[in-house]
């Protein structure tokens, strides 16, 4: 991306809209989770950046498939099957109305699905069908945020291409609301008998995970991050790049962090992101004694 392309994204100025966007994304993600064949590490639940917004990608159903997309260009939700397309407004209105319209549209298309109709691991605890409180959707702010993701995603894909071991797709997690890519050593992680099933599946194998998120209560600003699991003892002892990167404690564990604002002001944002991803990956891979020569692309 060119210098100056990234917009300012102060979380405090669009936090209500960010939450609304997350709730709509959770509805879509829960539908995909329910109907898509299972994949390791919950990859069957994630969403993807599309040329016009955020999409579930194809979801198998019956003898065909369908897709749900947030079209952030025309500000609408699109439900698409091979023989029919329905459009719903993506605007400021109660979450309950959006939920009702979405499931009514699915029923009209002959798609029967039920989900756990309440938010997961986010600020709102109100079930979707009765949520008349969350109704703020600043389309301009959300579009700026989505366009930021479209600039970051190709850089993450470039980083992913350097790795020949097991790696995740570049995908959008609707519960933590972050764009992420993960690398794996190929080794199983120690059992986590006291963890919930979501955590057990997510961290079943040694992983170095990096991503970008818009901020939350723990760190109320957009940032790039990287963590390693299981946590090697010397993970946070390594020097990070670029100089603006830092180690922080988050939820009791060290995490590498690069403020988005530093990237936004950089003359070479792509290289700054790649330097951060590479240095934080090396911190984890070296500390955990990964066989890097077997996992990384040469040249």
Q: Residues 9-60: pLDDT tens digits?
A: 999 999 999 999 999 999 999 999 999 999 999 999 999 999 999 999 999 9
Residues 101 and 210 in one domain: no
CA distances from 256 to 133, 206, 265 (A): 36, 17, 19
Q: What per-residue confidence (pLDDT) applies to 10?
A: 96
Residues 93 and 233 in one domain: no
| Residue ranges in the chain modelled with pLDDT below 70 | 3
222 within a domain of the structure (yes/no): yes
Please enumerate, as own/partner, the contacts of 13-18 that have beta carbons within 8 Å and a separation of 24 or more: 13/141, 14/138, 14/141, 14/142, 14/145, 16/134, 16/136, 16/138, 17/136, 17/137, 17/138, 17/141, 17/142, 18/141, 18/142, 18/145, 18/177, 18/214
165 within a domain of the structure (yes/no): yes
Residues 144 and 290 in one domain: yes
Neighbours of 11 (CB within 10 A): 17
289 within a domain of the structure (yes/no): yes
Last residue of a domain, one of 86, 108, 130: 130
Residues 176 and 281 in one domain: yes
Residues 157 and 279 in one domain: yes
Residues 151 and 86 in one domain: no
How many domains does the chain contain in total?
A: 2
CB 172 within 8 A of CB 150: no
Range of the domain at 91: 11-130
Residues 162 and 259 in one domain: yes
Residues 86 and 165 in one domain: no
Residues 245 and 291 in one domain: yes
Q: What per-residue confidence (pLDDT) applies to 1?
A: 73
Average pLDDT score, the chain: 97
Residues 145 and 281 in one domain: yes
121 within a domain of the structure (yes/no): yes
Q: Report the distance separating Cα 70 and Cα 77, nearest Å.
A: 5
Q: What per-residue confidence (pLDDT) applies to 98?
A: 99
Residues 95 and 158 in one domain: no
Radius of gyration of the chain (CA): 19
2 within a domain of the structure (yes/no): no
């Amino acid at each position: 991306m060119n210098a100056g392309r990234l917009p300012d994204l102060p979380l405090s100025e669009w936090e209500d809209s960010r939450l609304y966007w997350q709730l709509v994304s959770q509805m879509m993600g829960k539908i995909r989770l329910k109907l898509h064949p299972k994949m390791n590490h919950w990859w069957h639940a994630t969403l993807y950046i599309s040329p016009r917004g955020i999409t579930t990608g194809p979801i198998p159903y019956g003898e065909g498939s369908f897709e749900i997309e947030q079209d952030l260009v025309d500000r609408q939700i699109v439900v698409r099957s091979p023989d029919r397309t329905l459009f719903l407004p993506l605007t400021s209105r109660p979450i309950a109305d959006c939920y009702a319209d979405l499931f009514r549209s699915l029923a009209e298309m002959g798609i029967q699905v039920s989900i756990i109709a309440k938010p997961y691991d986010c600020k709102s605890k109100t079930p979707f069908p009765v949520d008349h409180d969350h109704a703020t959707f600043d389309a301009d702010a959300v579009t700026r945020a989505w366009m930021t993701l479209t600039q970051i995603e190709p850089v993450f894909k470039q980083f992913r291409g350097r790795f020949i071991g097991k790696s995740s797709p570049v995908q959008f997690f609707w519960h933590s609301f972050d764009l992420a890519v993960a690398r794996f050593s190929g080794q199983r992680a120690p059992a986590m008998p006291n963890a919930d099933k979501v955590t057990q599946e997510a961290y079943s194998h040694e992983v170095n995970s990096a991503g970008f998120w818009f901020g939350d209560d723990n760190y109320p600003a957009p940032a790039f991050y990287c963590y390693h699991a299981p946590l090697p003892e010397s993970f946070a002892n390594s020097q990070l790049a670029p100089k603006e990167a830092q180690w922080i404690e988050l939820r009791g564990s060290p995490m590498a962090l690069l403020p988005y604002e530093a990237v936004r002001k950089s003359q070479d944002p792509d290289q700054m992101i790649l330097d951060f991803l590479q240095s934080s990956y090396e911190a984890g891979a070296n500390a955990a004694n990964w066989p890097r020569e077997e996992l990384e692309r040469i040249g």
